[in-house]
Amino acid sequence: MKSLGDNAFHLATAIAANAYLVEGRRGLILIDPGLAPNVNRIARELVHHGLSPFHVTDILLTHYDPDHAGSADTWAHRTGARVWIGAADAAILRGEAKPPRTPFRRTMALAGRPKLPHNTTLIEDDTEVVDGIRAVPTPGHTPGHVAFVHRGVGFIGDAARVSPEATLHPGPEFLDTDPVQAAASRALLQTLGIVTICAGHSAPAMRI
Ligand SMILES: [Zn+2]
């Protein structure tokens, strides 16, 4: 677990995509806890650092892909935590909206859809979720993709890749459901005062 400043941490043991933690006022907030095997890995990591996995109060999901959202339901059932996700992505997971029909999305659909617990709050627009953390819709990679901003730390999921110099880059275009929306979301991310950029598939980087 590596400190990112502002009570935010990069979890070292998560596989497949980056998972992050914020120590909130009332408990622990997990961002993108990821695939099912991460549940025990992250729980052990928390215990190793003197934190209780049962103090997780909120799970923030940037989007619905399994490498970000796959274990949210398990965490919610084991801890009672609330889950937060963009409304358009929740509709896809619940079968209320058709998943995007790009070749990549069709392939991903074969892997199954992560479950959402009943205790899920939908993010419709730019809003505060918990402990002053702001959710900012950043569609493009998925229709309901959301970035979370906690003070100067931005958790941007798969809205962009990040260079070691903290510049934002597009990911491979075939991963984006709507590349035009994705470009607009990357431009929006530049305006949010983010100093430490925490992406799903790049090392966290700090603007200097
Ligand atoms: Zn993704």
Phi and psi dihedrals of 190, rounded to 5? -70, -15
* The pLDDT of residue 141: 95
Ligand 1 geometric centre to CA of 58 (Å): 20
Ligand 1 geometric centre to CA of 22 (Å): 21
Ligand 1 geometric centre to CA of 141 (Å): 7
pLDDT in tens, 35-78: 999 999 999 999 999 999 999 999 999 999 999 999 999 999 99
Ligand 1 geometric centre to CA of 68 (Å): 7
* The pLDDT of residue 43: 97
Ligand 1 geometric centre to CA of 67 (Å): 7
**CATH 3.20.20.80: does it fit domain 2-206?**
no
Taking alpha carbons only, the member of 86, 77, 87, 68 closest to residue 30 is 68
Put residue 58 in one of left, alpha, beta given phi > 0 → left and psi -120 to 50 → alpha: beta
pTM of structure: 0.96
pLDDT in tens, 193-207: 999 999 999 999 998
Instruction: Enter the DSSP assignment of 132.
Output: T
Token duo for residue 60 = 């923030």
Residue 25 to residues 114, 119, 133, Cα–Cα distance (Å): 28, 20, 12
Token duo for residue 29 = 């907030």
